[in-house]
Every structure is written in C-alpha cells, then in structure tokens.
Structure 1
C-alpha cells in the first residue's frame, strides 16, 4: 500500500454547541477563501442545516442573519440539498417528502421562497436541479424517482425503483439518469418530457450503492458502495467494461472527479481519502471460475464427495486467485500481492504462478492515501481552486488544499 500522506487544512469549523458553529481559523480573512465559501453555501447535507447555514454566513462576515429567514428550514428537517451557483437556486429535500426551493440573494444574506414540490410520500434521499432542462429530479424512500418542471412546478414523470435510491446522476446530452439503490444495483434510465424507458442495469456491488459520480467527457460512471469498493463503468465505450477499485476499509461515502488531471477522489466513513490516478491503462478483474477441485493441484474441494471417496482424501476449502480468477486451494494460493492496475491497492490472495508473474513494476501504486482525522459523511471538490470540503459525523467541517496531490 502506498505511504500515507498529509496535506494542510486550510480551515476547519469546530462545534460550539448543538445549534451553533464557530469558525476557528484566521484564514477566513483571506478574500479568495471567503469567495469559495460563498460557492459552497448550503452544499453540505446536514440535518441541522440552519446551523450550518449560519456558520457559513458568519465566516463570510455576514453577521446580521436573522433566524426568521431560516425558519422555514427549521419546521421540517432537511435530508438533502442541491445548489446551483449560476442561478443561486437552492433545492432542499425534506424528511416529509416535499422539496422546497429558494433563490439566494447576491450577498447570500436572504433566501426568497421560489417553489414547493409535493414530490414523495417519504424522506427525500437525493435532489438534483438540471438548469439546461429546467428539471428538478428527486428520489425518496417511497422508491420513486420523479422529475418536475422548475418553471411550472408540475410533475412531469415518475419511475418506480426496486429499492430506495441512494445515488443519482444525470447526463444532459443523452438525458440519461443514473440511479444507484440499496440493493447494490445501478440503473440507467432515458428520461423524456413525460415518460422514461429502461436502458440497462448494472449489478457489481455486494452492498448498497452509497455514491455516484458521472464524468460526461470520458463518459464513465463511478459508483461507491458499503462493500468498501468503487466500480468504474465505461458507459461511452459500449463494451460493458467494469473496473474495480479496492482502496478503502469502510464504506465509501463520497466520490468526486477531477477531469483536468483525470484523478478520482474518494472518501470513506473511517476518514480515509484516496486519490486515484485514472490516467493509466487499467485491467478488469476476472470472473471467478467454478470448479469441483483445485485448478492447480487438482485436489477435491469439500463438496466433491465422489472425488474425495475415490482418492480417499479430505476435501479442501475453495479460494480464488484475484489475478486469474481460478478456483484454488489454500496451499496453492498462500501468497499475497498488490495489483494496482487491477484496482487492488491492498494485498490480496493470488495463486503461486500469478505471484511469480507479478513484477515490482506491476506493484507500483496508482493511488495515494490520506487520513482526514474524522468520519466523513459528505465531500465536495471545487476543481477551479483545488479545494476539498469534508464534513464529518463529529460535526466538524474541514477545508483542504488539494493542489499538492491533485495536479
């Protein structure tokens, strides 16, 4: 595994009490940082959204915020947000299933109600505002994907999912919606003005999908899961290529992509942040082969009663080589190795012959590992400045300068 590296925290917010935050860094006197905070206004998905809003406004020096301006947020807990800096439109999904939209003033000191959508019968899990289409896409715990017209407020369409959705991305050019759910499935839907059609489904995760990231340039979709893995789906290649990335010890909580450097940023609930170099030729992980006996020494596995009886030998437990996918016994796969080009940044089981074929060059890491020192629940990357915002379960918000590692 690559050596863990550190980079400086530009600023961080520490909890003062349950309803109020204070900013603890003199870096906020810097004008570019304040400008960046404006762009990040209301991007964090907290249940105490009003407290976070007040904290961000305070860091901008806007101290005249009245609680009445945020009273509409306090009546119902917010479950998700989408902010468009171009139009300053803030779309907030609520626990009661509604979506409330506001227009923020230029000084970010006033929120004018714009629209309310009766979108779902349960908690809103994801909300997206698509400026090019004037659509508001949302998913909820009622297992419905809906899209509304942001101008009229009317519902345009609805699609029933098999499980409640935890990730949603949209491609404007093709009108494809990428939907990740709690069954571990990723569904691609073609959305029309008043209807939708199923394009295809992907099933590669053993746990629920926790994060999605779409790159419209390379036309690849990244999905993170509670099974600790990330899968890169090559949508544009139309070959069904799926590259697996294994670099986290806990569930993946967020994914961001830096298109100018072709680097993927991922974070997990254990505080780990991994920077993946995607500008390399990666290999697909092989499918695991089925066999009744070890494909190296031909010893029977424990369910192969006939061969055990004929050879008078006790059956062995089955394993799989992560490089070739062959079914092998423990004796023939006793060694471990990293295989970074196949996404395995940690050591994994390989058979003896594959272990001998892996060179030191093949073991060169393609990712760097960093510790954020808090359990991350949300992240946002701003590629123009190279800054990363992370918020944690410890009610701490940290702002990182990523330029030393994302370049």
Structure 2
C-alpha cells in the first residue's frame, strides 16, 4: 500500500496480505498443512526457543491464520493479534494468561449469555472467580476490585440488548487500579467502535459473527493493544517473570508491546490447543473484505426496522440505541456515529409465550443461535441462549421473558418488515 495511513475499507481488503511469492496468487492461499520443514537444526532450535519468528506447527500458527491476525490487528489499531477456534476460546486464552487460581475479575452484568455461563461456571473449575458490575453505574466496577482482581471485562455493545457501554469511564477505573480492560467488540466490530482508542488494553472477537459475516465459519480473535505495563506489578507473573520452558525469558521484557499476544500463543494456544482451521481463517478473511459495506447496510436496515416496530400496537417496547429517544442514544452517537449496530431486542405484548410465538411465525428470518449473518436472524433468549440463567440473571442480562432478539440482515428492508408484520399479526 502506498498510503502510509490507509482507510478502513482499504485495510479490510489489503492488511496483512501480499501476492503469494511462489505462485503469484492474489487471494491468500489456504495453507492446509499441519507442519513446516525447518531450514536446518539451528533454525528449528531458534523457532522453538522464541529467538526467531516462524512456522512450527499449525496448532500454534499458520500462514493463512497470520494474515487474518494482521488484518484484524490493523482494523482495531492493535499491536498484534491471535486467531483461535472461537470467541469462547479467545476469552479462555486471555484469562489463562492473566489469572492464577484464586484470582478474580470484574465483568459487566449485561453480556452474551454464553459468556455469563463461561465466566460463572466453567471458569470456576480453574478457581477463577467472576464478580458482576453494572455498566450503567461505572463505579460499581471499582467497588468489586480487591488485591486479587486481575482484569475488567465488558462488551462495547452488549448482547442481546444492543446497549452501548461508556468504555472511557470504565477504562479510567481500570487505569486507576492498574488493571487491563478487556472489551468484547463482537457486536460492534471495528467498523463501528475501536475500543483501543477509548482506553481498552485487549479486544476479543467472536469472528464467527460480523467479522466473517456469512455464518459459515467459526473463529475468535484476541487483539493486543500493546498499552498495558505488565511489569508494573507482580500481578501478572506469566508476562513479568522468567519462563523456564523458554530458557528463562521474560516475555514482557523480550517482546514489549506484543508480549500479551505472544503469551497467549506460546503458552495458552500451544498447550490448550484451540487452534483455528486454515479453511476457517480463509473464509473469515474473505468476509472481512466486505465488512464496511455489510455493517453499514446492517445498521441502516436495523434502524428502519426498529422505527417500524416502535409504532406497532403489539410491541411493548423497542431497545435500539439508534432511536433518538433511547436513553443510550448519546453514548451511541459518541462511540458509534456510523450506526447503532444490527442486533437489538424488543418486547412482544403477551410475554414469554407471545415471544416464542412470534419467532415461530417468522419465515424470512432464520431461527437460530447466531448473530452477524448476511441473513436476518431471530431468537427468543429466555428459552434458548439465556435459558441456563436464573430469571433474575436473565432480566439483568437484558433477556427477560418477553424479549425477542433480532440480528437484522442485509436483505431488502421492506421484505424484512413484511415478515415481521405477518408474524405479529398471528400473535
């Protein structure tokens, strides 16, 4: 690229990619291999000792994966990235790098139901404890912090409710307590919000969603902001203390602004193994090329659908931050002026059974547990994605009994509205 400061759409197409040096192929090849031939014994030893970068084994890295990592890091404005098998895998590796048994972290109450379950249940098997706080009251995060707290975790745009979070206010609390701020940017994507610009230190994605955008491949990404001083305290020994398995190298000292991404790769991904398949990395790369076009269409369609639902006599409420009278609208305008995203919730009069009935009556919408597809998607969270939570947790997460979640696709918006209209007529 000739421009030293290329635009977002240019980065979405070109970042990390060059024509294949052997064949001249313009599209990034799918390197469908498990391992790589070393140049000689010294080359192999240097790779295994972290003295030289290069490919060893596809569980740890792969050339197709490397292009995906560089592209997402460029779009987020990060120093480095690591692509893994799923969004949940990304979160697991982040906390595996940060936490020791008995440590805790503070997370927003309004999160994807799978994250709430992972944090509250699966993580407890590692003796990692989660404490919940309210993003509408940022100081509630500070109230949960103690000497064993190791991070703060939020979503930039909360799933399922589509609520924007004041990242800068929570980042200020994290800095005050010398803790990294982790932001899940899945729902917004870097097209709408770039959390690192607002004080985040680490960004995670379920690339399965808007980054890939076509509902055809699983993946997750960790983006290292390169902003946190891992040696500023003794809280993060994985990064600040010698690693015996790598000839006593201190990762933060050796790798600086990319140390966290390196640690996630050579300690977490290497040993826990949630590697992304080369084919999935290729499909996600292809999807990212159209991310700015898709996200703008998603946002435009979602705004029109939300306006229409707000005036429907069978709809009790609409929770879409793009609507001018929404209490979260000022935050949306501040953090995501291009649009309020594609995912939002609304309530059907009649509660739990009415919500399920509406979902059953839709025809264009696909009833499934995903978001971020080109197709319009729908789900009733209380009976599906958030069913494992208590009623109180469901309400706190924005997934109460009457809630229906839409992920508005890029079809013609008149067809989307017509499908909702015929299904609501049956309720």
TM-score scaled to structure 2, two decimals? 0.23
Higher strand proportion: 1
| Higher alpha-carbon Rg | 1
Bigger relative contact order, structure 1 or 2 (CA pairs below 8 A, ≥6 apart) = 2
